[in-house]
Amino acid sequence: MGSLSQGRRRTSSIAVTRSASRGETGGTVPSTALSLTALPGGLVALPGVYQPQADTRLLAAALADEDLGPRTEVLEIGTGTGALALHAAARGAQVTAVDVSWTAVATARLNAWRHRLPLRVLHGDFEARITGRRFDVVFSNPPYVPAPDNRPPSRGPERAWDAGLDGRAVIDRICAEAPALLRPGGILLMVHSEMCGAEETLDRLAGAGLAAQVRTTLSVPWGPVLRSRRSWLEQQGLAAGAEEWEELVVIRAQRP
């Protein structure tokens, strides 16, 4: 795993001792598990849909600091259960959410209906479904786990976390498309693991003309997916020794 250079600003960091990593899907998510995104009665997560976890909460905390209101147009890329999209909708924002999984789309729509919150949920790839529109805020918890197969899976729960050999299959696309998705002054928030390179993300966003920084970080223990790939991760130079912690980062970028 890499480390953030001293030349980049870290605005805050948090440490946790509870396992919360990619690889958990399906079930009922209690509202207390969402912290800042808590909704009465919790959220439904249909089988195969990524449940809100540590990366969700970290992104929620960053999103809570942004100015969202009735005239704020927001896009979530990869909505899953819709937890964060509903958090934004509850604050009055006009929210569009997109996901490649029909089950995730159904889950997000169901949760929006249960909580009586307006949420437009689209099925498909964000580049194909979101054309000609610009937003005030775009946020994403994309797939970011390095995988032995460089081709992202086309079905199954693994679509929520597997992202090619370097974990950047979706991250790099979001970096490239961010200027076209954001209005002038618009904000991008994206969470991913330092294992796939925060500096690379910052450099790509800067190259696209955005002012980017690490907003916050969080150290979490490995979940079942990373533990199952220990040997391969060591071969790729992404893990060493008995290390079983990863650092999550939230990147914040603003279009001029």
Strand-strand pairing, 211-221 and 245-254 = antiparallel
> Is 5 contained in some domain?
no
Tens digit of each residue's pLDDT (9 = 90 or more) over 226-250: 888 888 888 888 888 777 888 999 9
* pLDDT score of 35: 43
Domain count, the chain: 1
> Is 119 contained in some domain?
yes
At 40, the pLDDT band (50, 70, 90 cuts) reads: low
Q: What is the mean pLDDT of the chain?
A: 83
The CATH number of the domain where 137 resides is what?
3.40.50.150
> Is 29 contained in some domain?
yes
> Is 215 contained in some domain?
yes
> Is 2 contained in some domain?
no
> Is 148 contained in some domain?
yes
* pLDDT score of 23: 53
> Is 1 contained in some domain?
no
* pLDDT score of 24: 46
Domain that holds residue 60: 13-254
* pLDDT score of 15: 33
At 1, the pLDDT band (50, 70, 90 cuts) reads: very low
Q: What's the pTM?
A: 0.83
> Is 4 contained in some domain?
no
